[in-house]
């Protein structure tokens, strides 16, 4: 889930504005997640932020502003990994209130869960929460269908094929930055790493042999 951590970490420090003004970035999280009715930074937005990040990453989302909606998304796991969803209860395990964010890890004594999320101290931040208040750890499935693009793609290529290749590389752990449809140095370096891992000619050019291997990788 390195893609989730990458997207969420880029937003660290986005904070509510005190008073009558509202942080446009927080309002954008809501609108871009399909929650147009949210027009301020005072509505509890932890779930809104998680929805926004997951949609950017091409993953399943709850589509709802309440934290506990995430208990119904993805697969429940007992051995969370960085980037998994963690849902906490507030006030009582049986109340409707809660908090949701992205799991980063445990404290040494396992009493705390480190969480990257929104609306944590009124901002996107990393904070520690009581592990006894965890309701669920959820692992998300990809909602985006990726198809190996047609070759040949190389430095300087542009378009949907390049963007699709970038999404595939990111999903498989070969970081090439935000998919922008422009085959630059990051995309070339990521492709070279994939080629090296799968014993293909390491030339940074996506050709027919690379496409065949990417098709196999997408089935894994």
Q: Residue 78 corresponds to which tokens in the numbers above?
A: 């007992």
Q: What is the pLDDT of residues 44-78, one digit of tens each?
A: 999 999 999 998 888 889 999 999 999 999 889 99
- Measured from the Cβ of residue 80, the count of other Cβ atoms closer than 10 Å reads 20
| SS3 sequence of 180-202 | CCECCHHHHHHHHHHHHHCCCCC
Dihedral pair phi/psi, residue 190, rounded to 5°: -65, -40
Instruction: Provide CB contacts within 8 A for 45, sequence distance 6+.
Output: 26, 29, 30, 38, 65, 118, 119
Region 160-164 average pLDDT: 92
Percent of the chain whose predicted confidence (pLDDT) is above 90: 76
- DSSP reduced 3-state for 106: strand
pLDDT at residue 1 is higher than 60: no
Q: Choose among 93, 40, 38: nearest CA to 63.
A: 38
Strands of the sheet with 125-130, listed across from one edge:
75-76, 134-139, 85-89, 98-106, 112-117, 125-130
Let me know: does 29 contact 52? Beta carbons within 8 Å: yes
| Beta bridge partners of residue 129, listed in sequence order | 113
Flag whether pLDDT at 147 surpasses 80. Answer: yes
pLDDT at 170: 81
Fold exhibited by the domain 2-139: endopeptidase fold (from Nostoc punctiforme) (3.90.1720)
Going by the DSSP 8-state scheme, the letter that residue 20 receives in this structure is S
Within 8 A by CB and 6+ apart from 201, the residues are 195, 209
CA distance 192 to 49: 33
Domain 160-219, CATH among 1.20.81, 2.60.40, 1.10.101, 1.10.3470: 1.10.101
Does residue 143 register a pLDDT over 70? no
Strands 134-139 and 75-76, how do they pair?
antiparallel
| Domains in the chain: boundaries | 2-139, 160-219
Closest to 110 measured CA to CA, from 84, 137, 131: 131
**Each residue of 170-193: pLDDT tens digit?**
878 788 887 889 999 999 999 999
pLDDT of residue 178: 79
């Amino acid at each position: 889930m390195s893609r989730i951590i990458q997207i969420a970490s880029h937003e660290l420090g986005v904070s509510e504005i005190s008073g009558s003004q509202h942080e446009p970035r927080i309002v954008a999280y809501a609108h871009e997640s399909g929650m147009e009715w949210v027009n301020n930074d005072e509505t509890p937005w932890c779930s809104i932020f998680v929805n926004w990040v997951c949609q950017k990453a091409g993953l399943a989302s709850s589509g709802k502003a309440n934290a506990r909606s995430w208990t119904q998304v993805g697969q429940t796991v007992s051995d969370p990994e960085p980037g998994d969803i963690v849902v906490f209860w507030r006030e009582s395990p049986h109340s409707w209130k809660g908090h949701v964010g992205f799991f980063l890890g445990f404290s040494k004594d396992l009493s705390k869960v480190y969480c990257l999320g929104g609306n944590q101290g009124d901002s996107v931040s990393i904070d520690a929460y009581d592990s006894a208040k965890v309701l669920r750890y959820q692992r998300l499935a990809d909602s985006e269908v990726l198809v190996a693009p047609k070759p040949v793609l190389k430095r300087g290529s542009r378009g949907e094929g390049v963007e699709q290749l970038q999404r595939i590389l990111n999903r498989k752990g070969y970081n090439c930055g935000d998919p922008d449809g422009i085959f630059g140095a990051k995309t070339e370096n990521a492709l070279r790493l994939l080629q090296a891992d799968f014993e293909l000619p390491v030339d940074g050019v996506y050709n027919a042999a690379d496409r065949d291997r990417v098709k196999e990788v997408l089935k894994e």
